[in-house]
Structure 1
């Protein structure tokens, strides 16, 4: 079976894990080390009015902004190539062949300024960040039904009651869509690993952002982008660490943009078409503002200092 583009992008580098049995354990020892760089101090000032806001949507939006798009759209085939370069699974010659098949001359692509630049400029750090952001956001979007369906040729015979008198039932070839169980069995473990990696790295980023009280929403978003960019290599490795082994999956729902399944290891992946909820052993691991069972709030400088005086009751 030909591996479909999104599945290929998710599975690149995972094959090396064959035989590696690492179960998901939520202990603190499993979290990656904090980045060595010390984030800059808060700049919004102590006179701003702060509100405690959940860190998860801020980090999620930051990662979405790092995701490469092409003509405003996500492109699984291009991202499969970028992830291949990022992980050293593909060389430049193979990517050039891919571009040529799309009638694109790699020699004419600019090294910067084009969405396709990362496919030809040798910027390994940029490729890693783009791949990591693409994979991280892949579980927070409605799945493409084409990734789980396959076209099957069948022959339908005209019912005997509708055939003309004396004529033989006519056989008409047609193509129908059927669930591709093999593709689904390959993808579900990766979906779970990506969601778990999101919880790990997003929680780490949230804990670092909490050390910078009083930033504005925009400043927290920029800090989240910088942290995710620096942690992108750790994130890709985290997907490998979180790959389940020997786990049986049961699909609960796969329709209308929703993907819901449970694993025999106590995991429950629930994307309802809009939002992702990942539960691990009855603990909310990702979703509804929580990460790894914890609520991470950020004291955001939400209103400027002029609002402060309006909060004080006027003197009689």
Structure 2
């Protein structure tokens, strides 16, 4: 059998010099959910992939108008950051000083939207107390838990809208590469970022739901509220449900799976020069 197969391959190579042009279908259908998630992560983290919460929270303060430039400068000085050493561009840290509001908003939006994709640590939701017999026990801090769930649910709901806006605006055609889609996604984020940040705040302020923990450990949680919503968070990501329908997560966006054609075979003569996404840090 080995000889037969080997001979067949030799025969094909002799009779037809195959190229990628001979492959009829050069694209595959991929979930928009993954394209969006990967792009948002890239927009909110430097090239080493590590999020700097201190820097990102200050950028968000500037984007939302919670802090002035002078207040941010003072915070940096208090934390022994040499402001003069921060470059004006090509670094996420540049957004701390260069005053580019649109870039700050887009980067902040990407940071907040991906916060539920980062492994969580629920330790702060518990208190250590001594029982009547003197033994130490861990109990849930109800007030702290309720506040944290308001934040998480507001972010999850607003992010479901963000994903839906992005997915609906993807110009899907079989000639687009991964980079093409990332650029398309980034542009939508830039345009929608102020509305997204406003929506997160509005949902948080208006949240009057009562939350009930169904499962809660250091790294996972399953919580329900009295509005028929459920949020599941674990090291693999998160799932938001509304009345049993997956609103965001498991490749679904507002209960629907969005797929787009991704070009994975490009003839050499048609290849473009390698492009880098114009992230916030490069603006």
Under TM normalisation by the shorter chain, which class is it?
0.7 to 0.9
CA separation of 1:181/1:114 partners in 2, compared to 1, >3 Å: closer, same or farther? Answer: same
Q: TM-score, normalised by structure 1?
A: 0.68
CA distance in 2: counterparts of 1:201 and 1:72, whole angstroms: 22
Q: Residue by residue, what CA displacement relative to the aligned partner does 1:254-276 show, whole Å, maximum 9, x if unpaired?
A: 22421221111010001132121
**What SS does the corresponding residue of 2:169 show, helix, strand or coil?**
helix
CA separation of 1:198/1:101 partners in 2, compared to 1, >3 Å: closer, same or farther? Answer: same
CA separation of 1:141/1:214 partners in 2, compared to 1, >3 Å: closer, same or farther? Answer: same
* Aligned counterpart in structure 2 of residue 197 of structure 1, from 141, 145, 158: 158
* Aligned counterpart in structure 2 of residue 303 of structure 1, from 260, 265, 279: 265
**What SS does the corresponding residue of 2:212 show, helix, strand or coil?**
strand
**Does structure 1 residue 59 correspond to structure 2 residue 21?**
no
Q: Which runs of 5+ in 1 are unaligned?
A: 1-45, 160-174, 307-316
CA contact (8 A) 1:67 1:134 kept: yes
CA distance in 2: counterparts of 1:301 and 1:158, whole angstroms: 65
CA distance in 2: counterparts of 1:182 and 1:260, whole angstroms: 17
Q: Residue by residue, what CA displacement relative to the aligned partner does 1:76-130 show, whole Å, maximum 9, x if unpaired?
A: 3332222111111101221122111211122342222344221111111121112
CA distance in 1: counterparts of 2:267 and 2:84, whole angstroms: 53
**Does structure 1 residue 266 correspond to structure 2 residue 228?**
yes
**Does structure 1 residue 183 correspond to structure 2 residue 144?**
yes
Counterpart residue number, 1:28: none
**What SS does the corresponding residue of 1:303 show, helix, strand or coil?**
coil
Deviates more, 1:241-250 or 1:264-273: 241-250
Q: Which runs of 5+ in 2 are unaligned?
A: 1-22, 269-283
Give 1:208 shift.
1.4
**Does structure 1 residue 282 correspond to structure 2 residue 244?**
yes
CA distance in 1: counterparts of 2:189 and 2:97, whole angstroms: 23
**What SS does the corresponding residue of 1:104 show, helix, strand or coil?**
coil
Q: Residue by residue, what CA displacement relative to the aligned partner does 1:221-253 show, whole Å, maximum 9, x if unpaired?
A: 222122212221121122134335221001122
CA contact (8 A) 1:48 1:305 kept: no
* Aligned counterpart in structure 2 of residue 218 of structure 1, from 176, 179, 199: 179
**Does structure 1 residue 207 correspond to structure 2 residue 168?**
yes
CA distance in 2: counterparts of 1:72 and 1:132, whole angstroms: 17
**What SS does the corresponding residue of 2:75 show, helix, strand or coil?**
helix
CA distance in 2: counterparts of 1:192 and 1:157, whole angstroms: 38
CA distance in 2: counterparts of 1:117 and 1:154, whole angstroms: 48
Give 1:177 shift.
6.9
CA contact (8 A) 1:47 1:305 kept: no
**Does structure 1 residue 140 correspond to structure 2 residue 117?**
yes
Counterpart residue number, 1:245: 207
What is the count of residue pairs matched by the alignment?
A: 245
Counterpart residue number, 1:122: 99
CA contact (8 A) 1:49 1:305 kept: no
CA distance in 1: counterparts of 2:229 and 2:102, whole angstroms: 32
Give 1:219 shift.
1.7
Q: Residue by residue, what CA displacement relative to the aligned partner does 1:37-86 show, whole Å, maximum 9, x if unpaired?
A: xxxxxxxxx96522221110011100000004597532333322221111
Q: TM-score, normalised by structure 2?
A: 0.76
